[in-house]
Amino acid sequence: MTDLTLKEILATGCLQKMAAEPGSAVTGSAEPGSAVTGSAAAGSAVKYTLRAGEQRLALNDYLGESLQLEWTGAIACTHCGRATRKSFAQGYCYPCFKSLAQCDTCIMKPELCHFHEGTCREPEWGQRFCFQPHIIYLANSSGLKVGITRATQMPTRWLDQGAIQALPILAVDTRQQSGFVEVLFKQQVSDRTNWRAMLKGEVVELDLAAERDRLLGEVSDGLSQLRQRFGDDAIRALDEPAWQFDYPVLEYPSKVASHNLDKTPLVGGRLMGIKGQYLMFDTGVINLRKYTGYEIRLTA
């Protein structure tokens, strides 16, 4: 174990994904074609909070500082709390991974929802989680992408992806319906983020309203079929302004190297930025969400 007697312990405990709040300016028109390469003003940057056990740490305050993140070797399931040698689906022990509805395949592919077949792993949980309003959105994190989220998760979902822009375009009543709509859009645009491109900061701003109009035209026949199936009001067009986000980054890396706590339990360096769920050190980047449930010590 590393000697920490001469270091300031900033936080200890099992990691949760970082909490993120947008800065002061979050909506407005984009400047299509411009690349985001510089640092954000302090007042407008997304505010990040490290969550380790019951401890909370405002990470933006440590930009430019040298930090070390050490994994103690322990992992706890984020659902039941039991010790586990391996984390499944970012934070679960194997029994929870196999039994919880939130770990089922239909969470990643909502169009495969089987609630109506009576085979949901946790019907009460499914009723609460899946049968509530969902949003289909366009975002720009490493380029144009489509995604879905619960209405209550805006803008958290976009901040977790490191999006610099986002635009809600359609609203539906259930998660399954959002999955069917997303499938239509995925025939025209990706639903994934290139995390390396996102972390390099070389993302060109887009006219998301124009992209929305173009894509809605491409999928109009498919949307008409879904409305015939679920009702005319089941899929509702939204007319909202685009969101824009700045991230607390002093300098983007020219080459992205990734730290892995499983292979190297002690990582760190000068904290150059925070974006998505990544800490960006001058020695490499680390996706903290990947290590949900890992017991860590953060020292300065």
Dump pLDDT digits (tens) for 100-126: 999 999 999 999 999 999 999 999 999
Q: Which two tokens stand for residue 79?
A: 């659902």
pLDDT at 7: 79
Which residues in 136-154 are b (16+ Cβ under 10 Å) and which e? Answer: bbbbbbbbbbbbbbbeeeb
Measured CA to CA, the distance from residue 191 to residue 185 in angstroms comes to 9
Cis ω before 265 (30° cut-off from 0): no
Which residues in 289-300 are b (16+ Cβ under 10 Å) and which e? Answer: bbbbbbbbbbbe
The average confidence (pLDDT) of the chain is 92
Dump pLDDT digits (tens) for 193-239: 999 999 999 899 999 999 999 999 999 999 999 999 999 999 999 99
Share of the chain above pLDDT 90, in %: 89
User: Which of 107, 266, 241, 256 shows the shortest CA–CA distance to 195?
Assistant: 256
Query: Domain locations in the chain?
Result: 10-85+247-299, 135-244
> Does 32 have pLDDT greater than 90?
no
Q: What is the mean pLDDT of residues 145-152?
A: 96
CB within 8 Å of 38: residues ≥ 6 apart: none
pLDDT at 5: 52
Q: Which two tokens stand for residue 80?
A: 């039941």
pLDDT at 37: 37
Measured CA to CA, the distance from residue 149 to residue 133 in angstroms comes to 9
Confirm if 87 and 103 have CB atoms less than 8 A apart: no
> Does 68 have pLDDT greater than 50?
yes
pLDDT at 107: 94
Q: Which SS3 state, helix, strand or coil, does residue 242 take? A: coil
Looking at 5-19, 34-48, 156-170, which range is the least confident one?
A: 34-48
Q: What is the mean pLDDT of residues 137-159?
A: 97
Q: Which two tokens stand for residue 84?
A: 């586990």
Residue 31 DSSP class: -
> Does 6 have pLDDT greater than 90?
no
Q: Is 285 exposed, middle or buried (0-12, 13-18, 19+ CB in 10 A)?
A: buried
pLDDT at 146: 98
Q: What is the mean pLDDT of residues 279-295?
A: 98
Has this prediction a pTM greater than 0.85?
Answer: yes
